[in-house]
Amino acid sequence: MNGALDAVSLPKGTTTIGKTFDFEAGHLLPDLPSGHKCSRQHGHSYQVEVVLTASTLEAPGFVTDFGALSPFKMFLDTELDHRNLHEILPCAPTSENLARFLAGWFIQHLQPDIPGRLVAVRVRETERSWARFDVEEQ
C-alpha cells in the first residue's frame, strides 16, 4: 500500500446514504375549500427519497446495499403508481402525510431485514415543492 494513504486516521462518526425513487399518481384533497386548486383531481410525478444512516459499515463498506431497497420500489410500483392516492391511502394524500406513511411502511417492512436506520423520507411532488418526515431515533 501507499504509505501516505496508510497514515490517514479514520474519524468516528456516522455515514448517511440516500436513494431516490419515483412514481406517478393522482389525488385530490376534498377537505380543502372548493375554490382551492388542490381540491380538484390532479396528478404529480412524485419523487421519494429515503435517507439511511449507520455508525458502522457492513462489508464491503455499505450503510445498506442499495439493492436491498428494491422491495420499497416494488411497493411504490405495485401499490401507488398510477393510482388515485386519496382512494387508497389511510390518510389525506398530502406530501407530508405521504412521507410519514412511507416511513412507516419502510420501518415495518424493510428495516428489520437491512442494516442501517431510516433517518428520513422526502416526498417531492413538483420541482419546487417537497415535504420531509424525520424519523425519531428508535
Residue 36 annotated among the catalytic residues of the structure: no
Say which of 38, 58, 86, 96 is annotated catalytic: 38
Catalytic residue status for 82: yes
Our CA dihedral for 110, 28, 20, 15, rounded to 10 degrees, sits at -60
* 91 counts as catalytic: no
CA distance to 10, 28, 30, 111, per residue, from 115 (Å):
21, 36, 40, 7
From the list 24, 42, 79, 82, the catalytic residue is 82
Closest-CA residue to 103 (of 116, 90, 120): 120
Return the active site residues.
Answer: 38, 82, 125
